Amino acid sequence: MEANYAPATSGIKNYLSSHNLKKDLPASIVVFLVALPLCLGIALASGAPLFAGLLTGIIGGIVVASASGSQLSVSGPAAGLTVIVFGAIAQLGSYPTFLLAIVLAGVFQIILGLIKAGTIANYFPSSVIEGMLAAIGIILILKQIPHAVGYDADFEGDESFQQQGNENTFSTLTTALSRISYGAVIISALSLLVLIYWPNVKKLSNVPAALVVVAIGILFNQLFKGTDFAIQSEHLVKIPIVGSFTEFTNLFMFPDFSQIGNKDVWIVALTIAIVASLETLLSLEAVDKIDPLKRVSPTNKELWAQGLGNMTSGLLGGMPMTAVIVRSSANVNSGGRTKMSAIFHGLWLLVALLAIPGLINLIPLSCLAAILLMTGYKLAKIGLFAKMWRSGYSQFVPFVVTVLAVVFTDLLKGVAIGMMVSIYFILRNNLRNPYFYRIGSHGDKKVIDIKLAEEVSFLNKAAIQYTLAHLPYETNVRIDGSNCRYIDPDVLEVIHNFKHNAYTKAIIVELVDIKEKYDIPKLNELIYKPENVN
């Protein structure tokens, strides 16, 4: 059942209160600056128009955040869909046909929300989510260092280890360090210093450090022109410049509904819906994990909101979107308090496109890389690794495996590998805890008490079977099921078979309160109801 928690700050008055807005407005600027190059980079890598990337970010901010129940999640074009989008556009033959697939994907997501498919998020182990967060932090650091030194061969927002042209994260990093642009290095170094020390200056701390970083980037970009430190055009932000409202409206594209009978469109739509929904649920779980107020986002409502966003994006010429952990974590780390920070970030993207595209195109990617480097550092702090180590072997191993798998593959593959390792430890621990075992004595004869747990499932069969098979000869065995609400039929068969054959080992078996058959308990029977006290 989906958790039904009301956010700590709900209602229009709370969203627009000065207490929340003074947190949300600065955070929205940081998220806008993080989202800007990511929207453009992911669109470029996906083979979609640059405008489509910005439009998706705008819709993700204004439409999805407004409909979502999450207070800190930020949506937009996702790197995890890049390969799918690139291949789908080529397969379907035209971008309008692909837009129809996005609309249908949105419909599928709304259906998933209505049938409560979001509850799958409740089964993501904490160790895997923590590992995903740390891995994203490491990926941000590794991927942004090339941009920070002025080498922009890889698109902004890429999270995969393997890259185009037989390159990978490490080979690109090595190449970047051999092709340093000193102008970019100066800008990124100054930007990092501002991001670290600016918040400590009390009189200036109300001005977002990220805004100061962008101002420094633009200033030094202008100062370096005509010198050896000049920033090349390919190392600057590039957004479409529209000269009139007509030019702006001409950027929109619309779905080709004549292809509604094309089975390939439906296959692409279903693929996008499934992958986008999984990425969204993972990101949502991760954001809730780092939310300082520890709010729980309604997952089914999020799927519905994502479906609405993808339908809108497809109808207007955008790209498929998901909730995105990089933008969301930047929101959290910047002090965002409510969904207004995500909504405002969408508005800033719109303003940048319509009002100040020329100014935006003066921003060096190296200063934006510094912002993402700081975001990565906060996600992958050494303290997180120390905390998981103290949590024990069964938490630390899945955590580390998830980190390595995400870094060396991609988000979904890495999480899947981490999930498998985590499930192994869950099963291992479950197998060890199906009963309480005590050895006593009655005269010269050993007496063994086996008290079964409340729930004895098929997963406990192997452990119980092993224990019964290795009981010593000539003992009295008492198997107590008085606490049991449910015993799996396979386990019951093992117990009754043991009692039937125990005479061959001179074992006397007593079964206490063990029924011949157990019905699966209903949910309302599992809810604790305290007795009335008169």
Domains of the chain: residue spans and CATH: 16-401 (no CATH), 435-525 (3.30.750.24)
pLDDT one digit per residue (tens) for the chain, 534 residues: 444 444 444 567 788 888 889 999 999 999 999 999 999 999 999 999 999 999 999 999 999 999 999 999 999 999 889 989 999 999 999 999 999 999 999 999 999 999 999 988 888 888 999 999 999 999 999 999 999 999 988 888 888 888 877 788 898 899 999 989 999 999 999 999 999 998 888 777 778 899 999 999 999 999 999 999 999 999 999 998 888 888 889 999 999 999 999 999 999 999 999 999 999 999 999 999 999 988 989 999 999 999 999 999 999 999 999 999 999 999 999 999 999 999 999 999 999 999 999 999 999 999 999 999 999 999 999 999 999 999 888 899 999 999 999 999 988 899 999 999 998 887 776 665 556 666 665 566 678 888 888 888 777 787 788 888 888 888 889 898 888 888 888 889 889 999 988 888 888 999 999 988 887 766 555 444 454 444
| Cα gap 437→510, rounded to integer Å | 15
Whether residue 474 contacts residue 506, with contact meaning beta carbons closer than 8 Å, is answered with: yes
Query: Which stretches within 6-125 are classed as H helix?
Result: 12-15, 18-46, 50-59, 65-67, 82-92, 95-114
| Cα gap 158→319, rounded to integer Å | 16
3-state DSSP assignment of residue 397? helix
3-state DSSP assignment of residue 1? coil
What pLDDT was estimated at residue 42? 93
| Cα gap 35→62, rounded to integer Å | 14
What residues pair up with 512 in beta bridges, in sequence order?
480
66 to each of 62, 169, 316, 531, how far by Cα in Å? 6, 36, 18, 43
* Model confidence, pTM: 0.82
Tens digit of pLDDT for each residue in 450-476? 888 888 877 778 778 888 888 888 888
Tens digit of pLDDT for each residue in 386-422? 999 998 888 999 999 999 999 999 888 999 999 999 9
Q: Which amino acid is at 322?
A: T
Q: Which residues, 6+ apart, have CB-to-CB distance to 387 below 8 Å?
A: none
CA of residue 533 relative to chain centroid, distance: 46
| Cα gap 95→60, rounded to integer Å | 20
| Cα gap 318→331, rounded to integer Å | 23
- DSSP single-letter state for residue 236: B
Q: Which amino acid is at 236?
A: L
116: alpha, beta or left? (left if phi > 0; alpha if psi -120 to 50): left
Q: Which residues, 6+ apart, have CB-to-CB distance to 470 below 8 Å?
A: none
What residues pair up with 436 in beta bridges, in sequence order?
451
What pLDDT was estimated at residue 199? 85
128 to each of 1, 388, 392, 502, how far by Cα in Å? 21, 11, 14, 44
| Cα gap 408→162, rounded to integer Å | 8
Two tokens, residue 247: 């030019």
3-state DSSP assignment of residue 292? coil
Q: Which amino acid is at 374?
A: M
Half-sphere exposure (Cβ direction) of 138: Cα atoms closer than 13 Å: 24
Whether residue 389 contacts residue 396, with contact meaning beta carbons closer than 8 Å, is answered with: yes
E strand or H helix that includes residue 170: helix 169-177
**DSSP sequence for 135-166:** HHHHHHHHHHHHHHTT---SPTT---SB-STT
